[in-house]
Amino acid sequence: MKRFVLLGLILLLAAPAFAQGPAFQATSLPRQVRGEGVTETMGDVVLLVTNGGATTVLKSGSTINIVYGGTVTSTPATATSVVNNQNVPVAGNSLVACTTAAGGAPVGCNYFVTISGAQLTISFLADWTITGAFQGFSVNNVRVDVSAFSAGQTINAYLSGVSIAPATNPITFTQPSVTVGLVSKPSLSQVAAVTAPSAGPTFTTSPISLLTCQVNAVATGTTTRAKITEQFPAALTSGGGAGLDENLFTANITPTNGTIIQMVVHNVPTGVSIVMTPFLATSATAAVTGALPALGLATQKAQIAASASGKNVSSNANITALLGAMGNTATLTGSGADQTFFIIVSGDSTATIEDLVVDFAASNAAAITPPAASLSLTVDVSLVPTGTVTSSFSPVVRFAATPLGTFTIGAYGNCTSLLLYPYVAANVAGFDTGLAIANTTKDVLSATYTASAQAGACTLTGYPSTWTADSTGLVTAVTAGTAVTMTTPSIPAGGTWAQSMGSTTAFGATGFVGYVFASCQFLDAHGFAFIVNGFGGGTVNVSHGYLPLILNPTASRVVPAGEALNN
C-alpha cells in the first residue's frame, strides 16, 4: 500500500504544468479632450496580467484589439506606441516595435501595430511568457477624432483578444472597456470683452470708436481687451509638451504646452493701425484686467505673427511658412480687407484654468475714407490647423473647422448724409428745379456740441417717371425710367453747392422728372429745392420752394419696418 502512495506522489510531482493564456486587467486615466479636436490624445490604456507565471503565455500570432469610440487618427509608425509598463516592467520580455524590411515584412521585433478606422490592433510575432503577476504594458499616444462628440460625453476603448491557441492560451479581460477621454466642447469659451477696472490700463469693453468723422479720431492708447477662457486646464495645450505637436509650429519658437489660435480680423479701414499684444493670465485674478506684462515669451507665454499667406494653417507642411516671424506684438495696418494672425501659446498650465488675453490698441494718423455704411471691426477666433489628417507628418494635430466665437473690437460710422428731393423737373415744358446742398459741419455751437468739420462730394441719383393721361388730363399710368446720376464737386465745411438741374447733362439733357436722392460724404447736410417755369425763355409766373427730407443712411427701409424720417 505504501508503494502505491509513493508512486502516486512521484507521478504528481512529475506532471507537467498546464499552459494558460493571460488574463488582463485594463485601466486608464481618461484625459480631458477638446471637442473640436480631430487628433486628440486619449488616456493611456494600461494592460496588466493578473495570472502571470511560468506557464502564462501570449502566443505568437495572437492579437489584442482596442476599438475606440471614434476614428483613430494616429499613424502607427510615429504617433502610437506600445511600451512596457514602466511601473511593472516585463522581466526578460521587452516589447520591441517592428521595423519594415524589403517587401514589407516586419523584422527585429516581437509586435507591430496596425490601425483601421476606430480599431487599433497589436499583433504579436513571438511567444510572450508573463512570469509574474501584474506585469504588462501600456498603449500610449493614441489620437482620436472627437469632433462629432457632444459636450460631456465620454470616449471609451473596447478590448478584445484573438489567441492563436484559444483552447490552451485564451486571452481574457477583467474589464471589457475603459474610459479614455472626457469631452469638453467648446474647449475654450465664447470670447468676450474684459471688464475694465476702476483704476488701471486704458481699455474699454465697448468697441473702439475708430471714426468720428475727423482726422486722428482714435485717442492715443485707446484699447479694447478681449479674453478667451479655457474650460479645463490644458485646453490651450496640443499634445503632451515639448517634443510633440508644438515643435512643428514654427522654426522661430519652440513652445512647451501650447497651441495655435487663429484670428481673422475684419473691416479695419485704411489709415487705421491696431497693435495686438497677447498674454496668458490666470482666470479670476487681477491679471486679466491689470496692466500688460513685460514683453517677452517668458512673461507673456504667447507670441503672435501675421499670416504670410492664406487664412488658415491647413497642414503641418506649411505651418512655418504661414506663421512667419513670431513677435511679442503684431501690427495690423488697415486696408479694408480681411487679415489673419496666429497666436502661439507657450507655457500653458496643465493644472490651472487660464485666459488668453489680447489687447487691441488702435490709432489712425490720417483721415479715414467713409464707408458706404457703418461697419463693425470684428475678430473670428478658431483653433488651427484644420484640414485632412495626413500620415506624412508627425505629429498631425488637427481641429474641425469650428469657430470658437467672434468679438467686436471697434466700429466706425459712414459719416454720410442722405437727402430725398421728392419732385424734381429739369428742363421739362419750361419748368426747371434748382437744388442747393449746404455742408453745415462748420457751425457756431460750443466745443462740446460742435460738428467735426468735413469736406466731401454728394452723389445725386434720380429716378425718372413718365405719365399717360386721358383727355381730361387725369393720369392713368406711370412708367418708371432708367436712373441717372451725377456727382457734385467737393463741398467744404461751411460751403454750399447750388445748381439749376436743367443746365446739367445728366438731368437737363434727358428732360428729367422724378425724385432724387443726394448722398453726401459728410454729416449734417441740409438742402433746398426751388421750382420755376420760364426755363429757356418766357415769363416766370410759377415758383415753389421746399426742403428735402433727411433720411438716416444706416436705417433699414426693409418691409415691414419701412422708414423713419428724421426731419
Same-domain check for residues 166 and 249: no
Same-domain check for residues 385 and 289: yes
- Of 387, 412, 437, which marks where a domain is finished? 412
Does the CA dihedral 364-367-372-374 come out positive or negative?
Answer: positive
- Of 184, 206, 228, which marks where a domain is finished? 184
Same-domain check for residues 380 and 478: no
Q: What is the DSSP letter of 517?
A: E
Same-domain check for residues 323 and 213: yes
Residue 256 reports pLDDT greater than 90: no
Residue 43 reports pLDDT greater than 70: yes
Q: Is residue 8 part of a domain?
A: no
Same-domain check for residues 407 and 268: yes
Cell of 89: 516592467
Q: Is residue 110 part of a domain?
A: yes
Q: Is residue 557 part of a domain?
A: no
**What was the pLDDT predicted at 305?**
84
How would you class 344 by CB atoms within 10 Å of its CB: exposed for 0-12, middle for 13-18, buried for 19 or more?
A: buried
Residue 461 reports pLDDT greater than 70: yes
Same-domain check for residues 318 and 406: yes
Q: Is residue 90 part of a domain?
A: yes
Residue type for position 560: P
Same-domain check for residues 263 and 403: yes
Q: Would you place residue 500 in the very low, low, confident or very high pLDDT band (cuts 50, 70, 90)?
A: very high
Among residues of the chain, what percentage have pLDDT more than 90? 23
Sheet holding 405-412, edge to edge: 208-211, 405-412, 375-384, 260-266, 339-345, 302-306
Q: Is residue 300 part of a domain?
A: yes
Sheet holding 81-84, edge to edge: 81-84, 135-140, 45-49, 23-28, 172-173
Q: Is residue 2 part of a domain?
A: no
Same-domain check for residues 68 and 101: yes
Largest separation between any pair of C-alpha atoms in the chain: 157
The secondary element (H helix, E strand) that includes residue 530 is strand 525-532
Q: Select, from the ranges 219-223, 231-235, 275-279, 551-555, the one with the highest average predicted confidence (pLDDT).
A: 275-279
Single pTM value for the model: 0.68
Q: Give 114-155 pLDDT, tens digit per residue.
A: 888 899 888 888 888 887 777 788 888 888 999 999 989 999
- 371 φ, ψ to 5°? -80, 175
Q: What is the dihedral of CA 189, 191, 195, 196, to 10 degrees?
A: 130
**What was the pLDDT predicted at 316?**
47
DSSP-assigned beta bridge partners for residue 529:
435, 546
Name the least confident of 2-6, 146-150, 332-336, 539-543: 2-6
- Cα–Cα distance for residue pair 533/204, rounded to 1 Å: 58
**What was the pLDDT predicted at 5?**
35
**What was the pLDDT predicted at 237?**
81
- Residues contacting residue 220 through CB under 8 Å, at least 6 positions apart: 363
**What was the pLDDT predicted at 193?**
57
CATH code for position 525: 2.60.290.11
**What was the pLDDT predicted at 545?**
94
DSSP-derived secondary structure for 76-130: TTTT-EEEE-SSS--TT----B-EE-GGG-EES-SEEEEEETTEEEEEE-S-EE-
> 491 vs 211, 484, 486, 533, CA distance in Å?
20, 21, 14, 28
Number of C-beta neighbours around residue 371 at 10 A: 16
Same-domain check for residues 125 and 207: no
Domain count, the chain: 3
Q: Would you place residue 433 in the very low, low, confident or very high pLDDT band (cuts 50, 70, 90)?
A: very high
Name the least confident of 131-135, 243-247, 341-345, 446-450: 243-247
Q: Is residue 564 part of a domain?
A: no
Same-domain check for residues 483 and 360: no
- Cα–Cα distance for residue pair 329/342, rounded to 1 Å: 11
CATH code for position 119: 2.60.40
Number of C-beta neighbours around residue 181 at 10 A: 27
Range of the domain at 314: 192-412
Helices then strands, counting H and E runs in the chain, come out as: 4, 39
**What was the pLDDT predicted at 548?**
95
Name the least confident of 37-51, 150-164, 257-271, 429-443: 257-271
Q: Is residue 562 part of a domain?
A: no
- Of 184, 214, 234, which marks where a domain is finished? 184
Same-domain check for residues 323 and 389: yes
Same-domain check for residues 320 and 433: no
**What was the pLDDT predicted at 486?**
95
